[in-house]
Amino acid sequence: AVCSMGNSTSRLYSVLAKTLSSGAVSQHQDCLEQLDSAQLDPIDPKDLLEECQIVLQKRPPRFQRNFVNLKKNTGSNHRPIRVMQWNILAQALGEGKDNFVQCPMEALKWEERKCLILEEILAYKPDILCLQEVDHYFDTFEPLLSRLGYQCTFFPKPWSPCLDVEHNNGPDGCAMFFLKERFELVSSANIRLTAMKLKTNQVAIAQTLKCHETGRLFCIAVTHLKARTGWERFRSAQGCDLLQNLKSITQGAKIPLIVCGDFNAEPTEEVYREFSNSSLNLNSAYKLLSPDGQTEPPYTTWKIRPSGECRHTLDYIWYSQHALNVNSALGLLTEEQIGPNRLPSFNYPSDHLSLVCDFSFNQDPDRLL
């Protein structure tokens, strides 16, 4: 078998095709979880990017986004840690349930859309990548990103809505990837979030990493809270549960923390206030792009559904402001770039924008504790 990427057969994908065809995923999930991708040859990211661009040659070029320098004089000579947060839109939901009325089905074809996702990741070269709505982990992201040098972790939702879609590729969930050359895994926790003491369908991954260059420990977490209006109290309870777990993992903020997520909550919601006022001393990195440093972006997702246009700020990168500095953040797409039909589109693969920040360790982390 050979995995096709668009109209061309990929040299890289053909290596994986024998064990990782999409059709095999749902039937042989157990085998795939045990696959040792370390045995596969490393990939040069330039080669993979070239493969993607061949597939995407009939699509418009990738949008240009610029990093905004936010660096104060930190005195750090160490390389910053680049963190990328992104709800990539589960393929089964994009094609089967989300009903983006202005997005042609042709734009959602997985063979091309996966290349748009990979192109975005390869363009920003994150040291740590946090994704939501991943339903092609075993046949796409784990085999490819592990060969790019990432250690990969996936935690699916217990009852993923993807499973209700015909010809689905298994459940969606949260995924985390970090570069092994930069970090060592100290501990990892898969967290099924609770609300009112009941287990819910939402999950999180929290990993404590040691930075090889600085020797410093920090915790990175990824989550995706319950969607839709009317569930504000539920999200608030999930946020409280996650914060309690993170307090334990970080020993009450002794270990610096970064939390990435699609919170499905505007800044006006209770769960946002819980994170802002937590004893973990967290700040939202993307507020720093605003003139006053106190205002979230006007949107991180923008789509058109049968019920109308949805423009919301739902995605965040929270960080320990006593221990970490935000050196820079990736600017968002403008309304003009997004275009009148909004997202997703032939230009952009998801209904959510990726967020990317460069962090450095504060040289005197105890001064604000």
Residue 67 in any domain: the answer is no
Residue listed under structure tokens 């089905």: 105
Residue 26 in any domain: the answer is no
pLDDT value, residue 163: 95
Rounded-to-integer distance, Cα 291 and Cα 226, Å: 31
State the DSSP code for 130. E
Residue 14 in any domain: the answer is no
**Structural domain of residue 123, as residue ranges?**
80-367
Omega before 344 within 30 of 0, i.e. cis:
yes
Residue 287 in any domain: the answer is yes
Residue pLDDT, tens place only, 100-150: 989 999 999 999 999 999 999 999 999 999 999 999 999 999 999 999 999
Higher pLDDT pick, 16 / 230: 230
Residue 201 in any domain: the answer is yes
Q: Is the model's pLDDT at 30 over the cut of 90?
A: no
Residue 89 in any domain: the answer is yes
Residue 27 in any domain: the answer is no
Average pLDDT of the chain, as a whole number: 89
User: In CATH, what number is assigned to the domain containing residue 309?
Assistant: 3.60.10.10
How many domains in the chain? 1
> The pTM is what?
0.90
Residue 38 in any domain: the answer is no
Q: Are 200 and 226 in contact (CB under 8 A)?
A: yes
